[in-house]
Amino acid sequence: MTRRLDPNQRSYSSALAHGGSVVVLAISGACGATSGANRDYVWQTSELNMAPESFPFDGQSRAKHLAQTDQNDEPNAARAPSRPPVASPKHVRPPPTQLAERITEPSQGPSNGAIVGRPQPPAAPATAPPPQNSEDVRAAQRIEAAQALLGTTGLQDRAFIAQVLRAAGQDIAVDAKQPYAGALWAKMDDARVGKNSTRAGDLVFFRDTADLNGNGRPDDGVTLVGIVEKSHGSHVLFIAHRAGKVRRMAVDPQRPLVIRDGAGDVINTRLVRWPGSAEPWTTGQCLSGYARPK
């Protein structure tokens, strides 16, 4: 006599009588004794997450076991086709460029994550600013010192120019017995520049702006010195001590008789009226030249 239990049950027993002997077959679990733990997948800490592992038994052994059980249980019954072997899936590691992971280290601050993957090229070094020309620096210092003295009274041209030069760390010694502007012009003979080559920071010189010898004639040589503030071609703005005060004036030797242009800008400044002259002489008429302190 053969008795089949419900295949969904976890255990069953069958008794077969063969010539007075009884064979008892006990099966626990599914198809033979296996481990109760599900080992189809195991945790892998060295890779991305879950990695498949081989089944603890192969498909062919299981099919053979089922065939033998069915044959002993029901010899005349049609057997169901055996389950084909199940191939163990192989874990394929993606290329290294696809394994970028975000790594966050809480101990180094919140959200301090970095992408780990293809190495990045080193950052280009910061470009250092080009070194400044020391001559340009001194020129800017002279201009700044002259602008700071605008409106100052009680200075003579000697004190004014000396203070401007000291601001740039310069000192040009001249004969104290000679008129200062004339002595400085002679001292800077090798530092003179053309009238169309001047630039901010240069010294500008004028002749016959005062009757130093008292003879009433324009024969006194260089009598006024100033500092060039801005240069636009032949038109120059400069700062000098004149008539008891440090002032801003203008000169353009190419238009010596023009005081203002059509826009109202000062082109030349009136300096002195000599006896017998119908009009005052302008800076453009009195200009001697320019020199660049070194």
Q: What is the pLDDT along the chain (294 residues), one digit of tens a residue?
A: 444 445 444 444 444 444 444 444 333 444 444 444 444 434 444 444 443 444 444 455 545 544 554 444 444 444 445 555 555 555 556 555 544 444 444 444 445 545 555 667 676 656 656 556 699 999 999 999 999 999 999 888 999 999 999 999 999 999 989 999 999 999 999 999 998 899 999 999 999 999 999 999 999 999 999 999 999 999 999 999 999 999 999 999 999 999 999 999 999 999 999 998 899 999 999 999 999 998
Q: Does residue 41 share a domain with residue 164? A: no
* Res 92: pLDDT: 57
Pair 230, 242: CB distance under 8 Å: no
* Res 294: pLDDT: 87
Q: Is residue 253 part of a domain?
A: yes
The residue length of the chain stands at: 294
Pair 222, 207: CB distance under 8 Å: yes
Q: Is residue 204 part of a domain?
A: yes
Q: Is residue 113 part of a domain?
A: no
Quick one: tokens of 87? 């191939």
Q: Does residue 199 share a domain with residue 271? A: yes
Q: Does residue 265 share a domain with residue 146? A: yes
Report the number of secondary-structure helices (H) and strands (E) in the chain: 5, 14
* Res 75: pLDDT: 45
- Alpha-carbon distances, residue 90 vs 38, 87, 177, 181 (angstroms): 18, 9, 105, 98
Q: Does residue 173 share a domain with residue 31? A: no
Quick one: tokens of 101? 């992971």
Q: Dump pLDDT digits (tens) for 183-199.
A: 999 999 999 999 889 99
- Alpha-carbon distances, residue 38 vs 11, 30, 43, 120, 124 (angstroms): 19, 13, 12, 44, 55
* Res 198: pLDDT: 95
Which of these three, 73, 103, 125, is where a domain ends? Answer: 73
CA distance 209 to 185: 15
Structural domain boundaries enclosing 241:
134-291
Q: Does residue 285 share a domain with residue 151? A: yes
Q: Does residue 254 share a domain with residue 177? A: yes
Q: Is residue 99 part of a domain?
A: no
CA distance 183 to 164: 17
Quick one: tokens of 277? 């002259």
Query: What's the structural domain count of the chain?
Result: 2
Pair 13, 24: CB distance under 8 Å: yes
Quick one: tokens of 177? 């017995």
* Res 52: pLDDT: 42
Q: Does residue 141 share a domain with residue 29? A: no
Strand 101-104 relative to strand 50-52, pairing: unpaired
Tell me which amino acid residue 220 is: D
Find all residues with CB under 8 Å of 83, minimum gap 6, and list them.
59, 62, 63, 66
* Res 41: pLDDT: 39
Q: Does residue 138 share a domain with residue 69? A: no
Q: Is residue 129 part of a domain?
A: no
For residue 235, the surrounding DSSP H or E stretch is: strand 235-242
Q: Does residue 190 share a domain with residue 59? A: no
Which of these three, 53, 73, 93, is where a domain ends? Answer: 73
Q: Is residue 279 part of a domain?
A: yes
Pair 120, 113: CB distance under 8 Å: no
Q: Dump pLDDT digits (tens) for 53-83.
A: 444 444 555 455 445 544 444 444 444 455 5
Which of these three, 48, 73, 98, is where a domain ends? Answer: 73
Quick one: tokens of 183? 């002595």
